[in-house]
Amino acid sequence: MPVSFPAGVEYLRILPEIILTLAGVLIMLLEAVWSDQRRTVFAPISLAALAAALWAAMASSYGPAFSSMLAIGGSATFFRALVIVVGLLAVLASSEYLTRERANGAEYYALILFSVVGQCVMVAANDLLMVFVGLEIASIASYVLAGYLRDDPRNNEAALKYFLLGSFATAFLLYGVAWMYGLTGSTNLSIIREVLLSSGAPSLGLTGVAAALIFVGLAFKISAAPFQIWAPDVYQGAPAPVSAFLSAGPKAAAFAVLVIFMVHFGATAEQLQPVLWACALASMVIGNFAAIQQSNIKRLLAYSSIAHAGYVLVAVTANSEIGAAAVMFYMAAYALTNIGAFAVVTHVARKGERFVSMSDFAGLSRRQPAMAAMLALFLLSLIGVPLTGGFFGKFYIFKAALDSHLVWLTVLGLLNSAVAAYYYLRVLVLMYFHEPGEGAEELPAAGASLQIAVYACAIGTLVLGILPDWVLDYASKAALK
């Protein structure tokens, strides 16, 4: 076998991953050598690295890299930019939290960076093994992040649950990859696609099993029913900024992979449509109806994220270019909205996360009108009120579904979003219609970096709601690639 070294341009195509990996390693090295006083620079280093990676991702040329292990296209660029922005916002939302919990360690930032690297690899993968490697990098970093405050039993529980169930799901994925390799003789997605389209394609029944196994692994990551059991416990137990990160980044990456598979697996994916249909509906119903019962805001947002995974699955079920574009747009809108919401929760929770019950939000509009207004905006976006990103996200999803003649799924999905309004409204009710409880503890003003994260998310949510063209045009072109 002739040895071919990658061309220079191929290194440029993975420049974001290189930058982030180097920055992560650098941070870990610096921690070992530097004294405690200089720890404050880790956040700026991570931000700088993420900003540089964002630039590199946007500027990257399209094409394959490293013997077609990766393929940078419109969709990969979009999702790489998205997960990097998620990383940026998560870092901004975390630094205040870490200082407050006296846990301002370098490894936190390094783990975020590594997780983002993994997600970048996932979304750019053109090979089943790269998907797996990316997924593992992203997941292992996020398992540790979920248990970052190691003395906190809630963190421990979250991390352990996430790890055990996550590894189990990854095993499914790996098993599916092995099946697919056995059936088609390759792990490269382009080749698999050709084989599946060719006359000598293996029977749909067998490839269907492989695709189903892979879907199980990914469904876990996106917390779609019936693989959603871990999500509420993990989101509740993990540090609030980590929950923000988990609900946006890994989820977007897993959806990106799902869309890639839908494109490459052709008829095999099509025969999974009834399964996707059922999972989408089950996620929406379970997520929304369970969320109604919650009294803990993190748990509520966890169930809401299950429901939102259901909405996005509707677009995946549509299995069209419009559907793929809708997935991209929705994940962007949802990431901004949800990180914003979790950032406000991080702020209100205060030290030790003692104030994460819904009732702790009573009268927030009186105590900190700006923060309450921002959370209100995010909740309205999650409900799907027009002029917010969440509305257009839902709109594009259900439009894609109707284009693919999924009339019932559309109607049931839209009715679900009306049900969802109820529990988001409960938070609004508490913030605006109730007075602060007697003897409510003083709520300090939010730190600068957290405020930047919240306002950036709010502006993004509004821009996506008023001028969705900017993102949607790009997403539509990316879906066509």
The smaller minimum CB distance to another protein, of residues 456 and 475, is found at 475
Q: Which of 404, 414, 433 is nearest to 318 (CA)?
A: 404
Burial 396-411 (b: 16+ CB within 10 A, else e): bbbbbbeebebeebbe
Question: What does each C-alpha distance from 298 to 142, 246, 302, 335 come to in angstroms?
Answer: 17, 12, 6, 16
Question: What does each C-alpha distance from 376 to 36, 156, 369, 372, 453 come to in angstroms?
Answer: 38, 31, 10, 6, 16
DSSP state of 266: T
The smaller minimum CB distance to another protein, of residues 346 and 381, is found at 381
The first and second tokens of residue 416, run together, are: 């679900």
Q: Which of 50, 413, 6, 425 is nearest to 245 (CA)?
A: 50
For the CB of residue 437, give the shortest distance to another protein in the complex, in Å: 16
For the CB of residue 167, give the shortest distance to another protein in the complex, in Å: 39
Contact by Cβ (8 Å): 246, 238 = yes
For the CB of residue 476, give the shortest distance to another protein in the complex, in Å: 5
The contacts of residue 15 (CB under 8 Å, 6+ apart) are 53, 56, 57, 60
Beta-carbon count within 10 A of 105 CB: 15
Does residue 418 bind another protein (CB under 8 A)? yes
For the CB of residue 302, give the shortest distance to another protein in the complex, in Å: 22
The smaller minimum CB distance to another protein, of residues 351 and 405, is found at 405
φ, ψ at 357 (rounded to 5°): -80, 155
Query: Judged by CB under 8 A, which stretch of 89-97, 185-193, 234-242, 384-392 contacts another protein?
Result: 384-392
The smaller minimum CB distance to another protein, of residues 224 and 397, is found at 397
The smaller minimum CB distance to another protein, of residues 228 and 404, is found at 404
Pick the binder of another protein from 55, 66, 289, 432 (CB under 8 A): 432
Does residue 441 bind another protein (CB under 8 A)? no
Binding mask 443-472 for another protein (x = CB under 8 A): ------------------------xxx--x
Query: Judged by CB under 8 A, which stretch of 64-72, 122-130, 133-141, 422-430 contacts another protein?
Result: 422-430
Pick the binder of another protein from 380, 406, 450, 454 (CB under 8 A): 380
Contact by Cβ (8 Å): 117, 81 = no
Pick the binder of another protein from 215, 220, 355, 398 (CB under 8 A): 398
Pick the binder of another protein from 7, 29, 197, 415 (CB under 8 A): 415
Does residue 245 bind another protein (CB under 8 A)? no
- Identify the three-state secondary structure at position 357: strand
The smaller minimum CB distance to another protein, of residues 129 and 402, is found at 402
Beta-carbon count within 10 A of 436 CB: 16
Pick the binder of another protein from 28, 387, 443, 462 (CB under 8 A): 387
Only one residue has tokens 């921690």, namely 31
Contact by Cβ (8 Å): 62, 73 = yes
The smaller minimum CB distance to another protein, of residues 249 and 390, is found at 390
The smaller minimum CB distance to another protein, of residues 160 and 402, is found at 402
The smaller minimum CB distance to another protein, of residues 220 and 398, is found at 398
What would the DSSP string read from start to end of 44-101? HHHHHHHHHHHHHHHHPPPEEETTTTEEE-HHHHHHHHHHHHHHHHHHHHHHHHHHHT
Pick the binder of another protein from 350, 367, 399, 481 (CB under 8 A): 399
Contact by Cβ (8 Å): 305, 290 = no
The smaller minimum CB distance to another protein, of residues 76 and 430, is found at 430
In the complex, which residues of this chain contact another protein (CB under 8 A)?
Answer: 380, 383, 385-387, 391, 395, 398-399, 402-403, 407, 410-411, 414-415, 417-418, 421-422, 425-426, 428-429, 432-433, 467-469, 472-473, 476
